[in-house]
Amino acid sequence: MMSEITLYIVFVVLLLGASALLLRRPGGSRTAGDTGAEERAEFFPVHSRYFPQARRVLSLEDTRYMAGRASPQLYRRWRKSLRHAALLYLEGLREDFRRLNRLARLLALHSPKVQPKEELELARLNLKFQVLYGIVWCRLWLGRPTDERLGEMAALIGRLGSRLENASVGLRPASGALTP
Amino acid sequence: MDAPRIVEWVGAALAPLQVGVCALALVRRLWKTLPYFTAYLVLVVLVEGLRWGVIFASGVNSPTHQWTYWMTQPALILARGAALADICRAALGLYTGVWKLARLLLVVSGTFMLAFAAVHTNEAHRVSSYLLFLERELEFAVLISLMLILVLVRYYGLSLERPLDGIALGLGFYSSIVIISSSILIGSLSLPWWGFSLARSLGYAGALGMWAYALRAPVRERARPELGTVENYEAGSREIRNRMRELNDRLSDLMK
């Protein structure tokens, strides 16, 4: 009985604390109404467009070539710079996904009908992307090849983009709420 | 001064605060935004008036007062639940699709919590402990529902504007105090009745303070979202569609 009381109290305190945190306004974020043309432009991905260049840079061929030709010191410096660039690009891909994800939520917010199944699918894509991000990040730090995984990440961004394209085709103003 | 006397004094001090917050809500025309919450504040004033009348007539420890207290308490809990529904509607009601989804989630979670409460409450043997159990589980449903709606609001990038934020926090805070005090009273920890009453009175005073702070300035009417007009909505969706098509074509080329 005693442990049940403790459990209740701890759970309630945690719930209240989480509620207070959730009630804090997100710093610097926009409200859902801010969807003018300039703001809309900020939702679209930028970095995934440079995927072929990034893939070429991160390819094993370059690494083999440099390992065979450059001095060990130069090779180490080159590897370090390459890893730095790859991490920056990885962060860029994550930013792209975050933007699309935000756009997907915004579309759902203004859509007259939100399907729980689609929202779950979005959450699943999000989770998959975050897991891939973690894997690629670890592989980059370990100096392992990542181009295949990066390709999967770019493909996920494409899938999300495709979902959004379909979703925007299906958008129709709500009969009641949106009529001026 | 003995402890029960302190409880009476705290209760008496709470009465003007309750009337004050209720009056403030009426002056701010809160019923336009939150009709059920405003009704709840009025109900609290009426119920407290009735309870004080019984206390003056037959004493705080009389069975009549106990009976009145426990018979009016479910009405207040239900009114709190309705007030929470008010907050949910005010937060998401302008977004048709998400509001439908939120209602579905709230109904599912509420039904689950009430079913759990019904099963759990069967463990109680006396009427008073049955009511305590029931009250605790209902308040738990209120707290979980509040949490759920806050998660949804945050997930869709929205935020609760004043006075909704303070009112929601006050409701959650008081529900937490009720759950904790009821759990201690139900459990093996020995909490005297006056301690239970004092905790609740102070908790309610805290909630009233939060509500008064949230209502310190006139309540602004919420503007319809920018995409809420047909022109903006169509322009926005057209632009998104074109940009997405462009992106997808580009990505498809890159993947080849």
For range B186-195, the mean pLDDT? 71
- Report the distance separating Cα B52 and Cα B69, nearest Å: 10
ipTM entry:
0.71
Cβ neighbours of A53 (radius 10 Å)? 11
- Contacting residues of B for A26, CB less than 8 Å apart: 154, 157, 159
What is the torsion angle, in degrees rounded to the nearest 10, for the CA atoms of residue B147, residue B188, residue B77 and residue B200?
-90
* Contact with chain A for residue B146, Cβ under 8 A: yes
The token pair that represents B63 in the structure block: 């069975």
- Contacting residues of B for A29, CB less than 8 Å apart: 157
Residue B14, SS3 per DSSP: helix
Q: How far is CA A113 from CA A4, A11, A54, A144, B191, in A?
A: 41, 34, 39, 44, 50
| Percent of chain A predicted with pLDDT > 90 | 0
Confidence band, pLDDT 50/70/90 cuts, at residue B244: low
- Report the distance separating Cα B83 and Cα B98, nearest Å: 20
Interface touch B156/A108, C-beta < 8 Å: yes
Whether the Cβ atoms of residue B146 and residue B83 lie closer than 8 Å to each other: no
What contacts B58, CB < 8 A, 6 or more positions away?
A: B64, B65
For range A70-89, the mean pLDDT? 85
Interface test with A, best of B140, B243, B246, B252 (most A CBs within 10 A): B243
Whether the Cβ atoms of residue A109 and residue B95 lie closer than 8 Å to each other: yes
At residue B55, what is the residue type?
I
**pLDDT tens profile A105-131:** 887 787 777 777 878 888 888 888 888
DSSP letter at B228 equals G
Interface test with A, best of B160, B230, B233 (most A CBs within 10 A): B233
* Contact with chain A for residue B226, Cβ under 8 A: yes
Whether the Cβ atoms of residue B254 and residue A154 lie closer than 8 Å to each other: yes
Segment of A69-78, A139-148, B201-210 carrying the highest mean pLDDT: B201-210
Q: Give the predicted TM-score (pTM) of the model.
A: 0.73
Interface touch A45/B146, C-beta < 8 Å: no
Residue with tokens 């983009």: A161
If phi > 0 it is left, if psi is from -120 to 50 it is alpha, else beta; for residue A113 that is: beta
Interface test with A, best of B104, B251, B252, B253 (most A CBs within 10 A): B251
Whether B58 shows a pLDDT value over 60: the answer reads yes
Cβ neighbours of B43 (radius 10 Å)? 20
The token pair that represents A164 in the structure block: 């959004």
The token pair that represents A10 in the structure block: 């701890």
Query: In chain A, what's the furthest Cα-to-Cα distance?
Result: 72
Q: How far is CA A93 from CA A54, B138, B212, in A?
A: 11, 45, 46
